[in-house]
Amino acid sequence: MSSLHLAILLPFVFVVIIPLLYKYTRAIHTGWIALSVPVALFVYFIQYFSIHEAVEPITVSFPWIPSIGIHFSLYLDSLSLLFALLITGIGSLVVLYSIFYLSKDRERLNFFYAYLMLFMGAMLGSVLSDNLMVLYSFWELTSVSSFLLIAYWYQRKRSRYGAQKAMYITMMGGFSMLLGFIILYVISGTFSIREIIAAGDSLTSHSLFIPAMFFILLGAFTKSAQFPFHIWLPDAMEAPTPISAYLHSATMVKAGVYLVARLTPIFGAQLEWSWTIIIVGIITLTMGSFNALKQYDLKALLAFSTISQLGLIMSLLGVGSLALNKGYAEHSLVFVGALVAGIFHLINHSVFKGSLFMMVGILDHETGTRDIRKLGGIIHLMPISFTLTMIGAFSMAGLPPFSGFISKEMFFISLIELTENTSSWAAIIPVIAWIASIFTFIYCMIIIFKSFTGTYHADRLERKPHEAPFGMLASPAILSLLAIALFFFPGLVVTSILEPTVKGMAPQVFAVHPDWHTHVTAWHGFSLELVMTIAIVIIGTFLYRRIEKWKGPVFELLPKRLNLFTLYDKSLITMEKTATSITKSYMTGSTTHYLSYIFGFLIVIVLATLFGTGAFRLDTSQDSPIEWYELMIGIATVIAAVFILFSTSRLMSIMGVGVVGFTVSLYFVIFRAPDLALTQLVVETISTTLFLLCFYFLPKMKANVESIRFKLSNAIIAIGVGLTLTLMGLSAYGYRLFEPIAEYFTNSYELAGAKNIVNSLLVDFRAFDTMLEIVVLFSAGIGIYTFIKLRYAGRNE
């Protein structure tokens, strides 16, 4: 096992260690123990980072399920290194921040940090996996662990609702993605992403290639909260603020972006891929920025801003993927700039969004509210918080001297070039993006000025505002400094991250242009994109200063009930009511009904298969003659079975069942199967004894008053099952596709050392099956015991 494998496993080890140490380390905050994990991992991954050169790709693997080509394969290149550094670096800052945010006396910190470690390990596995099935396993684990994190305060109804919503939507997308992965495997014959990319154009002609693409895109869109699947993200704000900062900046919502970036070499040449991502991304950008304006809760506002920024990044990846399309080969290097912008803005967004969420958490922690209608006038009480919030918000608005300005300018350049080099109708895209950027500027101004300036209302706040402790300010301060550093020194990530990542995303392009290099600078000269930025500032300032005059009338024009959030809630209610009515129609509480469903289904399916496919065969040419004693045993079996039907005593019925079992065991003796006969006799004896013991304590049977219809339906089902199984047995005897399985066990004594073939089957050949059956029985017993104990404990209380 390589060091990369150990790096992924380390968080999972601490999932177990943290709860075990919790009871012995109450004197210190559990976060200090958890902090060692992301710090150690960040130090490990940073060794691969160099400002002056790209990381040399590393591939490590060991077999997991080799029979179907599933290996625990990991691949570290510039793209996966970028995400690994974001996951561990921002993860370290989030854990440090949480130590001062969460009280060790009032919170269940063992659960919190165990869930956080589980989530961190799942994210690392997702971005480092080269095998599609391993990636999917970690992908779904992120959904499960994020569910636990969002529902951390499970006592709150909104927390449970938000967690369920996030899991429903992201897991639905995950199942779709799994289907796409399986189709890719069918097409390519491998689960390895590297091998699929190497296959090149040989896959694109397959009829299932486009369906696989859309199935995978659905998974990416749901995870990264793209329209119309964005509705889970605002409700995920019920998680503690450290978790919101982690989910929105570096982890879960970026997983879909990562998937699109990683699979661009496979699907990027398809126009369906590019334009789907562009259109969905632009719609998400506009919708998210517009809806952010009507939020009063700062976390909700940031949630919609995250949706908007993710749409921006997605649209850039879509524009950049046009570089792989052969129809745009002459403009390929032009479109590559969009990939550079997308990856650079991904970094910037992680930086300023992590800082902003932490600052909103500080406001909530120190004032007792996140409602901007209650805040205001606290700039003189919290000057450091104001400064850090301003840096993050200005960077998100795309203003200098912050890194968001550079990637926002590159965004405008990419959309302008899209218009110039594609269809004329694409000219509307930069216009829409420019309008969305005005909305972005306005909500950034709301974050800064509505929260800190204006009139101070002490009576509206739950606590007297004061500056947060250094421990809480340290993490957002580091991110704020990074936002400034990336503006003045963007070359920190150009050679090591941006260039190699883009070359990995578009290998076909750089096979033709191997000497390509990108230049990222803060100043692009006087250009159209700069004019667009200046116009955004002017118009955005004008609209912000008059926001109270136009905000209400504009949003009142939109029907409140016609939105995806309401549609989701109504859909759940409708599905629940429908499912309840359908379930009640057949879940009557009657065992007779349930057995009727099962046996009726058996009769229909088996008989339809036998006669519909022509599988029924009856060959009596090699049958032995029936001896008189065999006939007598058969008659005795039938008499015992009929006796059961007319018996009025439970004990006599059980005796009749026992006679049927014992007579069947005589057939095993006659047909030279003493092992089966012995097993049948033992099982029948034990079963009969236990039944007699149990039924002895039941009240006497009442007179049989069932209707003729009830008895007739039972008789039809009973005759049908008997006839079906008889025909199936005769057909199986007369129509063999394979050699009898008994031939396989002829040397069971030499293989297993067991003289009894039944024992050999149960203990050796079917050892795992038997073990799992025991585990099921043990689990059921533990469950019953637990319920009994809880019942008596409840009575005692």
- Taking alpha carbons only, the member of 406, 403, 410, 412 closest to residue 437 is 412
Listed as own residue / partner, the contacts of 562-565 with beta carbons closer than 8 Å and 24 or more positions apart are 564/228, 564/230, 564/231, 565/231, 565/234
Residues near 433 by Cβ (< 8 Å), separated by ≥ 6? 282, 285, 286, 312, 315, 411, 412, 415
543 and 360 Cβ atoms separated by less than 8 Å: no
Q: At what angle do helices 332-367 and 78-101 cross, to 10 degrees?
A: 10
pLDDT for 116 equals: 95
732 φψ region: left (φ > 0), alpha (ψ -120 to 50), beta (else): alpha
Residues near 184 by Cβ (< 8 Å), separated by ≥ 6? 132, 196, 203, 212, 216, 266
pLDDT for 491 equals: 87
The DSSP code for 764 is: I
Q: 């995950």: which residue's tokens?
A: 174
- Mean pLDDT, each 10-residue run in order, the chain (797 residues): 90 92 81 94 93 87 85 93 95 94 85 94 95 94 93 90 93 95 93 91 89 96 93 90 89 92 93 95 95 92 94 95 89 90 95 94 91 90 94 94 94 92 88 95 94 88 88 94 94 90 90 86 85 94 90 76 82 91 87 89 90 76 79 89 81 86 88 83 88 76 68 86 88 70 75 76 82 91 86 53
A 10 A CB-CB count for 372 gives 19
**The one-letter amino acid at 665:** S
- Taking alpha carbons only, the member of 299, 173, 227 closest to residue 564 is 227
pLDDT for 553 equals: 82
A 10 A CB-CB count for 467 gives 16
Helix (H), strand (E), coil (C) string for 188-214: HCCCEHHHHHHHHHHCCCCCCHHHHHH
C-alpha distances out from residue 698 to 651, 693, 694, 788, Å: 10, 10, 7, 21
618 and 733 Cβ atoms separated by less than 8 Å: no
pLDDT for 115 equals: 94
The DSSP code for 744 is: G
Q: At what angle do helices 157-188 and 209-223 cross, to 10 degrees?
A: 160
Written as one string, the DSSP assignment of 587-638 is: --S-HHHHHHHHHHHHHHHHHHHHHHTT------TTPPPPPHHHHHHHHHHH
pLDDT for 560 equals: 67
Give, rounded to a whole angstrom, the gap between the first and last alpha carbons of the chain: 52
pLDDT for 694 equals: 80
The DSSP code for 155 is: T
- Helix (H) / strand (E) containing 108: none
Compute the distance between CA of residue 193 and CA of residue 208 in angstroms, rounded to an integer: 17
Compute the distance between CA of residue 786 and CA of residue 788 in angstroms, rounded to an integer: 5
**The one-letter amino acid at 39:** V
Domain boundaries, the chain: 333-556, 588-734, 766-797
Compute the distance between CA of residue 258 and CA of residue 270 in angstroms, rounded to an integer: 18
The DSSP code for 762 is: I
Helix (H), strand (E), coil (C) string for 446-498: HHHHHHHCCCCCHHHCCCCCCCCCHHHHHHHHHHHHHHHHHHHCCHHHHHHHH
Written as one string, the DSSP assignment of 216-259 is: HHHHHHHHTT-TTSTTHHHHGGGS-HHHHHHHHHTSHHHHHHHH
Quick one: tokens of 474?
């340290």
pTM: 0.81
Nearest 5°: the CA angle 618, 623, 629 is: 125
Residues near 34 by Cβ (< 8 Å), separated by ≥ 6? 14, 18, 95, 113, 116, 117
**The one-letter amino acid at 162:** G
Compute the distance between CA of residue 82 and CA of residue 46 in angstroms, rounded to an integer: 10
| 368: three-class secondary structure by DSSP | coil
C-alpha distances out from residue 386 to 80, 357, 448, Å: 34, 13, 7
pLDDT for 677 equals: 87
pLDDT for 704 equals: 58
362 and 389 Cβ atoms separated by less than 8 Å: no
Compute the distance between CA of residue 188 and CA of residue 191 in angstroms, rounded to an integer: 8
Sort 719 into a burial class: Cβ within 10 Å, 0-12 / 13-18 / 19+.
exposed
A 10 A CB-CB count for 61 gives 17
Compute the distance between CA of residue 72 and CA of residue 772 in angstroms, rounded to an integer: 25
A 10 A CB-CB count for 573 gives 10
Quick one: tokens of 746?
């002829």
Compute the distance between CA of residue 624 and CA of residue 356 in angstroms, rounded to an integer: 86
Compute the distance between CA of residue 95 and CA of residue 41 in angstroms, rounded to an integer: 13
The DSSP code for 699 is: P
Residues near 365 by Cβ (< 8 Å), separated by ≥ 6? 101, 241, 468, 472
404 and 398 Cβ atoms separated by less than 8 Å: yes
Sort 333 into a burial class: Cβ within 10 Å, 0-12 / 13-18 / 19+.
middle
CA 136 to chain centre: 8
- Taking alpha carbons only, the member of 111, 120, 110 closest to residue 151 is 111
List, in sequence order, every beta strand (DSSP E) within 657-726. none
| 647: three-class secondary structure by DSSP | coil
pLDDT for 703 equals: 59
Nearest 5°: the CA angle 111, 117, 123 is: 135
